[in-house]
Copies of this chain bind each other. A is one copy, B any other.
Amino acid sequence: MKAIAVRRGETSPSLVEHPRPEPGPGEALVRTLRVGVDGTDHGVLAGGHGQFPAGAEHMVLGHEAVGVVADPNGTGFEAGDVVVPTVRRQSNGPNEYFARGEPDMAPAGEYVERGIEGAHGFMAEYFTSPAETLVEVPSAFAELGFLVEPISITVKAMEHARASRSAFDWSPESALVLGNGSLGLLTLAMFREPFDRLYCLGRRDRPDPSIELIEALDATYVDSRETPVSEVADMHEGMDVVYEATGYPKHAFESIRALAPNGVAALLGVPDPWTFEIDGGALHRELVLHNKALVGSVNSNVGHFERAVDTLGDFPGWFLDDLVTGVYGIDEFGQAFADDDTTIKAAVEFGTR
């Protein structure tokens, strides 16, 4: 079958011939509908994530998928069910994290991630997956279900961030999203309801489709070239929540200054090592004297996917129309990997329902 993969030693995707998988016990065979592309995929292409599957000369890309069950293979699914797969799989035999439904909390070594690290992804005409890793979604989401995975990432991060503030009375009103990529914009849309005042930081010139979307969401665009993260609190206001989706490590630490008292920064970027100076004394003091928190968050589990399905259903149509700037057939997959200022969210379409 056709698949989109990165070949060993290469840094751009290729169309490859890949064996069509046979479902094992407990697995369903899924016919792929669409697979989204995000910053993690670009990181995988650049070699910034993990290993290829053992012995493989290429790794099939893609971790944001929606598909339709082709062969239930004795699982509880029915042929035609629309499903979204989670990303992590056990790699080292059974472990407690997967057993209790929290693979997102498993430490390195206990998992592979499909399309990211050590396992083939979903950018192929078919994939197999254990039934417990497939989340059924309404058939109306056959087209946009590839957004469930990125939404679930924010669902999880915000559950952890909110939990960190649950030992006291906390009524957040303001939030700053760092990053105007697709995850940042999805998060901004998710933040419309819980927060009164939204800000989104990027470094783009107008006119720009992401800035237009930020403003259509009634958020304030903050140009980091004019207002660095460390000055946001002075120029705008202290933020009850900062959500970091840039992978720029100075933001992780500068977010302490952007927070209002008792605020929390959810960190999601996965940068490479980089040594730089910080005023660690002042940042440490500020974290303590104003009860601030930094919470790192990675991956998501079935519960987060299920709540993400509800979230996707709540998004207005105009937002989704503007967010998804392109859906490309297999033969034009390269456009889905474009990393330019006109692309917000793109996907490859392998089939239709």
Residues of A at under 8 Å CB distance from B?
Answer: 100, 102, 104-108, 156, 159-160, 162-169, 249-250, 252-253, 260-262, 267-298
One of B107, B274, B284 near A280 (C-beta < 8 A): B274
A-B pairs, top 10 by smallest CB distance, nearest first, are: A274-B281, A287-B296, A164-B164, A107-B261, A163-B167, A249-B284, A252-B284, A288-B296, A249-B280, A273-B282
What 14 additional pairs, Cβ within 8 angstroms, besides A102-B168, A274-B281?
Answer: A105-B291, A107-B290, A108-B289, A163-B165, A249-B284, A252-B280, A252-B283, A252-B284, A271-B285, A273-B282, A278-B280, A287-B294, A291-B297, A294-B294
List chain B residues, Cβ under 8 A from A167: 156, 159-160, 162-163
Q: A167-B163, A288-B270 are in contact. Are A280 and B294 (CB under 8 A)?
A: no
- Complex contact B163–A283 (CB within 8 A): no
Shortest Cβ gap from A266 to chain B (Å):
10
Closest residue on chain B to residue A296 by CB atoms = B287
- In the assembled complex, the Cα of A267 lies from the Cα of B164 at a distance in Å of 14
- In the assembled complex, the Cα of A98 lies from the Cα of B114 at a distance in Å of 50
List chain B residues, Cβ under 8 A from A169: 100, 102, 105
- In the assembled complex, the Cα of A287 lies from the Cα of B164 at a distance in Å of 15
List chain B residues, Cβ under 8 A from A279: 273-275
Shortest Cβ gap from A166 to chain B (Å):
5
- Complex contact B296–A292 (CB within 8 A): yes
- Complex contact B274–A253 (CB within 8 A): no
List chain B residues, Cβ under 8 A from A284: 249, 252-253, 267, 269, 271, 296
List chain B residues, Cβ under 8 A from A107: 260-262, 290
- In the assembled complex, the Cα of A336 lies from the Cα of B52 at a distance in Å of 63
26 contacts between A and B (CB under 8 A): A104-B291, A105-B261, A107-B260, A107-B261, A107-B290, A108-B289, A159-B167, A160-B164, A160-B168, A160-B293, A164-B293, A249-B284, A249-B285, A252-B280, A253-B284, A269-B288, A271-B285, A272-B281, A274-B281, A275-B277, A278-B278, A288-B297, A289-B296, A291-B297, A293-B293, A293-B296
- Complex contact B288–A267 (CB within 8 A): yes
List chain B residues, Cβ under 8 A from A278: 253, 275-276, 278, 280
One of B159, B273, B289 near A298 (C-beta < 8 A): B289
Closest residue on chain B to residue A297 by CB atoms = B291
List chain B residues, Cβ under 8 A from A160: 164, 167-168, 291, 293
Shortest Cβ gap from A260 to chain B (Å):
8
One of B163, B252, B273, B281 near A273 (C-beta < 8 A): B281
List chain B residues, Cβ under 8 A from A102: 168-169
List chain B residues, Cβ under 8 A from A105: 168-169, 261-262, 291
- In the assembled complex, the Cα of A284 lies from the Cα of B292 at a distance in Å of 17
